[in-house]
């Protein structure tokens, strides 16, 4: 594996020669046996693609697994360091500190990471690092009957892998992501490398929701059934479910409320419209924001596969992860709200809470945009418009939640906030229109299609219609506020689920 010519520490890489692969699945079986991988999930699996149109059809295969990236998105996204990069370049994992947040799954552009159903921790191919440390080859390399799988040291000029990578024409999957994979393919068909490469014979984008899939493929936990003929038939060995479900959608909504109520009230205080001694500012604003912030934290913990390990985010959190940064922001915001509420019970109110809390609440509202951007696998979420859009959404739901309280305590301010709700709604609709315009990648285009005309179209259209009622807030008041609150949740759910619906492998 590593020859005498190597003078540096090893930099392990794999090369898969698809001209030799016969699709026998020996690598999958050997990997399962060596690493005790449960039934239903796989660290490595063989994908078949039937290329062409009858009668000119041929089968292409691809061995699919972790790409061992030099710039691994899963490592950056992992909040605790469970996903980490060893000195020899292998991206490995430590199950003992995995909290099961699934951020690594959302970040991986190659659909290579899964949650082990037995121990509920993230897992993937790690080049059989325990065997390499003993001077042995990975199980898949040993068992391959045609020597289609090779492992070697890229720093060793005498390594066969190093020679082939530097001499022959090889390819990597999704090079545009800039992850610099160390899994190279020789002789692979583009239809196997890129699941969006298949196109209709008549031309045009080949829509994923219209593709014929293998019986095990899942989107959002639901089996997908073919509804049209296709130029390519993909068969998978294991399930592939989206990592983030309704709990994450609900978390973005409750967090927007927690931040938005305070933001709108603080702006009224700083504008001199809402007295700092008012019961609304002293008691109700921190109470309502705090309740929704607690719900946000509860949803975050509920979404973890290991909720009992949530404390690791704070005790050994890695600051490059936006999940960790978000936890710090939420903790600081919670402390500010608690102090404001406790002092408010004593009859003390201050504009200082508005000055210090405004940037903190705004940060809580928008940090999710950067958390989603860290999910580099999902192109729909990479929009630079997302941070200001989330700030506008916080203003929407914050205004909607405050309207009933203003009607009861400060009717003179009701008209101002109703107008603010209408303006925020208009801005939200403009952001939606801009985000659904032209897209730089086929991945983002297909995700937008799934949201507006595909599986999530019902959620999206209902959310858009209900949100638009907010334009009538100066006249419809409470009805508009309720419609906005429901509509924004529907929109958030459609946006998050559609972003995860595009195939990666």
pLDDT in tens, 208-228: 333 333 333 333 333 333 332
Give pTM, 2 decimals: 0.89
Q: Is 419 within 8 Å of 406 (Cβ atoms)?
A: no
**pLDDT at 80 > cutoff 60:** yes
- Encode pLDDT of 108-146 as tens digits: 999 999 999 999 999 999 999 999 999 999 999 999 999
Do residues 173 and 62 make contact, with C-beta atoms less than 8 angstroms apart? no
Q: 318 falls in which pLDDT band (50, 70, 90)?
A: very high
Q: Is the pLDDT of residue 44 over 80?
A: yes
At residue 202, the pLDDT reads: 31
Average pLDDT over residues 356-364: 97
Q: Is-cis flag, bond preceding 55, omega within 30?
A: yes
| Rounded Cα gap, residues 425 and 428, in angstroms | 5
For helices 457-468 and 442-452, angle between their N-to-C axes, nearest 10 degrees: 70
Poorest-confidence range of 54-58, 68-72, 104-108, 421-425? Answer: 54-58
Specify the pLDDT at position 240. Answer: 58
Counting residues of the chain whose pLDDT is more than 90, the rounded percentage is 78
β-strand partners of 50:
59
**Residue 61 near residue 77, CB atoms below 8 Å:** no
- Residue 252: name the closest of 285, 300, 305 by CA: 300
Q: What is the pLDDT of residue 216?
A: 32
What is the radius of gyration, based on Cα positions, of the chain? 26
What pairing do the DSSP bridges indicate for beta strands 45-53 and 114-115?
unpaired
Helix/strand/coil for 14: strand
Q: What is the mean pLDDT of residues 152-159?
A: 93
pLDDT of residue 192: 84
d(CA 445, CA 208) in angstroms, rounded, equals 11
Task: For residue 407, give every residue at least 6 positions away whose Cβ sits within 8 Å of its Cβ, in sequence order, or none.
Answer: 414, 477, 478
Chain centroid to Cα 435, Å, comes to 17
Contact partners, residue 235, CB within 8 Å, separation at least 6: 47, 48, 214
Position 178 pLDDT exceeds 60: yes
Strand partners, 46: 63
Kindly state the average pLDDT of the residues 293-297: 97
How many other β-carbons are positioned within 10 Å of the β-carbon of residue 384?
9
Say if residue 233's pLDDT is above 80.
Answer: no
**Structural domains in the chain, sorted by start:** 12-235 (3.30.70.20), 246-499 (1.20.1630.10)
């Amino acid at each position: 594996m590593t020859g005498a010519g190597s003078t540096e520490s090893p930099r392990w890489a794999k090369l898969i020669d698809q001209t030799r692969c016969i699709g026998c699945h020996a690598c999958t079986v050997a990997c399962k046996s060596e690493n005790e991988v449960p039934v239903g999930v796989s660290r490595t699996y063989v994908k078949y693609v039937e290329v062409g149109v009858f009668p000119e059809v041929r089968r292409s295969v691809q061995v699919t697994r972790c790409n061992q990236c030099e710039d691994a998105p899963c490592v950056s996204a992992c909040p605790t360091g469970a996903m980490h990069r060893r000195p020899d370049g292998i991206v490995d994992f430590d199950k003992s500190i995995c909290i099961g947040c699934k951020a690594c799954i959302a970040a991986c552009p190659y659909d290579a990471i899964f949650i082990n159903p037995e121990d509920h921790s993230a897992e993937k191919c790690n080049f059989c690092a325990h065997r390499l440390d003993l001077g042995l080859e990975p199980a898949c390399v040993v068992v391959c009957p045609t020597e289609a799988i090779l492992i070697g040291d890229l720093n060793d000029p005498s390594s066969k892998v190093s020679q082939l990578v530097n001499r022959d024409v090889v390819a990597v999957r999704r090079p545009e992501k800039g992850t610099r994979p160390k899994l190279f393919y020789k002789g692979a068909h583009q239809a196997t490398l890129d699941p969006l490469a298949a196109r209709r014979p008549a031309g045009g984008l080949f829509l994923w929701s219209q593709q014929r899939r293998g019986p095990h493929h899942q989107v959002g936990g639901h089996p997908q059934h073919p509804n049209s003929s296709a130029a390519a038939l993909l068969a998978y060995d294991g399930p592939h479910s989206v990592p983030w479900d309704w709990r994450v959608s609900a978390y973005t909504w409750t967090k927007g409320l927690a931040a938005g109520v305070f933001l709108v009230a603080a702006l009224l205080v700083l504008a001199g419209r809402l007295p700092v001694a008012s019961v609304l500012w002293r008691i109700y604003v921190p109470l309502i924001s705090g309740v929704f912030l607690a719900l946000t934290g509860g949803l975050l913990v509920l979404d973890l596969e290991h909720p009992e390990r949530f404390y690791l985010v704070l005790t050994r959190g890695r600051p490059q992860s936006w999940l960790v940064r978000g936890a710090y922001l939420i903790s600081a915001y919670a402390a500010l709200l608690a102090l404001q509420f406790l002092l408010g019970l004593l009859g003390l109110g201050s504009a200082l809470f508005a000055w210090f809390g405004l940037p903190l609440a705004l940060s809580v509202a928008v940090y999710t945009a950067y958390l989603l951007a860290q999910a580099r696998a999902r192109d729909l979420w990479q929009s630079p418009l997302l941070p200001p859009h989330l700030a506008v959404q916080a203003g929407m739901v914050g205004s909607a939640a405050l309207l009933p309280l203003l009607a009861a305590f400060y009717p003179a301010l009701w008209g101002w906030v109703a107008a603010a709700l209408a303006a925020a709604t208009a801005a939200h609709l403009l952001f939606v229109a801009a985000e659904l315009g032209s897209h730089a990648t086929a991945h983002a285009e297909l995700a937008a299609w799934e949201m507006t005309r595909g599986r999530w179209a019902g959620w999206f259209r209902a959310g858009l219609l209900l949100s638009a009622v907010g334009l009538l807030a100066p006249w419809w008041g409470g009805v508009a506020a309720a419609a906005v609150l429901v509509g924004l949740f529907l929109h958030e759910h459609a946006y998050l689920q559609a972003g995860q619906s595009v195939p990666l492998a």
